[in-house]
Amino acid sequence: MPSPTLKPFGLVLRAVDFAEKAHRGQPRRDKDKSPYIHHPIAAANILANEGGIDDPVVLAAALLHDTIEDTSATFEELAGLFGEKVASIVLEVTDDKDLPKEERKRLQVVHAAGKSREAKLVKLADKTANLRDIVDLPPSDWSLDRRRKYFDWAKEVIDEIRGTNARLEAAFDAAYARKPTA
């Protein structure tokens, strides 16, 4: 359990600090190799400012959503620093990197509807941020076909969790409408 004196704003700031350190040195796939931390911050920003989400547990989970999957952070470490609820949400949105990529993608679609509401919120923000990045800062080694396929797959995932948050779904739909054509 996190410190009983940790206030909601403190939880979110601790999550930003932890995520920044965990992702330090990891670049995004765009041509400029932007710092990875931009992505979880974008996801939390989408939740708060477009989805109207003010739950510090959900915002902290959004900031930490890729730490178990893409860094050396563990569930136990997150639970100790941020509480069981935050760590559980992060674990829900974490892919099993031992599986082949296509299987991980398939499982995201299959399991999306069964996630907690909090995990669905994080997933909506994550996919929206990814679509925006693919348009605005496309991965340098992704073909047009690969970018378009990512858009369609992301929509399959989100279609499984419709009814979670209308504002976030509208933000996703607006991002999807920008699907690359050239």
Q: What is the dihedral of CA 37, 62, 168, 88, to 10 degrees?
A: 150
Single out the catalytic residue among 70, 76, 92, 152.
70
Amino acid at residue number 62:
A
Single out the catalytic residue among 20, 69, 77, 95.
69
Query: Active site includes 70?
Result: yes
What's the CA gap between 148 and 176, in Å, rounded? 10
DSSP annotation of 35? B
C-alpha 59 chain-centroid distance: 10
Would you say 77 and 167 are in contact if contact means Cβ atoms under 8 Å apart? Answer: no
3-state class percentages of the chain: helix first, strand second, coil last, to nearest 5? 65, 0, 30
Would you say 65 and 126 are in contact if contact means Cβ atoms under 8 Å apart? Answer: yes
The token pair that represents 23 in the structure block: 């992702």
Q: Which of 45, 87, 47 is nearest to 67 (CA)?
A: 87
Residue positions annotated with a catalytic role:
69-70
